[in-house]
Amino acid sequence: MDRPSSVVRTLIPLALLLALIAGACGGSDEDRIISNYFRAARMGDNTTLGNIAVVSFNAQQDGVVRDFTITNVQEERRALRVKEMLAASDAAQAAQDTFSDEMKAYQDENIEAIDRVLQAERAGGDVARGDQEVAEAWRNWRDQMAEHSKKVADARTALSDERGIAEVSLMNPQNQVDVSQYDGELVTKNVSIDAQVDTPDGQSIEKAMVVQMQRAELMDGENTITGRWIITSIEDA
């Protein structure tokens, strides 16, 4: 099952229609959502898939799920850490900016020696004795800048991962929600199913799978802003 590189999508009216249909039908939330997902996958309905999932189920690679039975549902909750990770990302960027200014000041004060050091490096030759202290210092500056850059990249990745599902779950063009402004929880359901799968090579087999569903629940004073369930992974059990 392939996971797109970006999980941020635009909610379209079809998703609202599906929600109304689901509300009018019997069965559990898990059963309705997973049924809609596999039905859309069979039909190649990428529009519907894009509104209820961030993971694809490709018929040519994964087969076609004709039917399934839910065998177990496990629910977990954890605090959303978007505020915390946004602060960490901003702090990492600020530290890098400060270090960059200090590095630039050192470079400006030693520009001629640094140029000679860089020329020697490019030529594969030895650094002149008088430039060795600058060469060592400049290597340290560059190593530290690389560390700062990695911290910024890691912090941004962590922030993107943390807020991604929450933003998809809460996406609504009529009521945009900035998840970084709220405390809340990310609710995860791991739904175990026994699925009847038509494999790409023409066989019909029963396969145990675990479908992960997630949604965000944000606190707005005494009110809760509840997102919709999103299928975030499908794995063989």
For the stretch 176-208, pLDDT in tens is 889 999 999 999 999 999 999 999 999 999 999
pLDDT at 75: 96
pLDDT at 22: 44
**How many distinct structural domains can be found in the chain?**
2
Residue 3 lies in a domain: no
pLDDT at 232: 95
pLDDT tens-digit readout, 12-32: 444 444 444 444 444 688 999
Residue 127 lies in a domain: yes
Residue 90 lies in a domain: yes
How many CB atoms within 10 Å of residue 234? Answer: 24
Tokens of 215: 């949604």
pLDDT at 83: 93
Residue entry with tokens 């997630």: 214
Residue 98: alpha-carbon gap to chain centroid: 29
Q: Residues 153, 93: one domain?
A: yes
Q: Residues 140, 213: one domain?
A: no
The whole-number mean pLDDT for each consecutive block of 10 residues of the chain, a chain of 237 residues, reads 46 45 59 95 90 88 94 96 95 98 98 96 93 97 98 97 92 87 95 96 94 95 92 94
Residue 176 lies in a domain: no
Residue 96 lies in a domain: yes
How many CB atoms within 10 Å of residue 44? Answer: 10
* Strand positions, DSSP E, the chain: 64-79, 183-198, 204-220, 223-226, 230-236
Expressed as residue numbers, the domain containing 128 is 83-164
Q: Residues 76, 96: one domain?
A: no
pLDDT at 23: 43
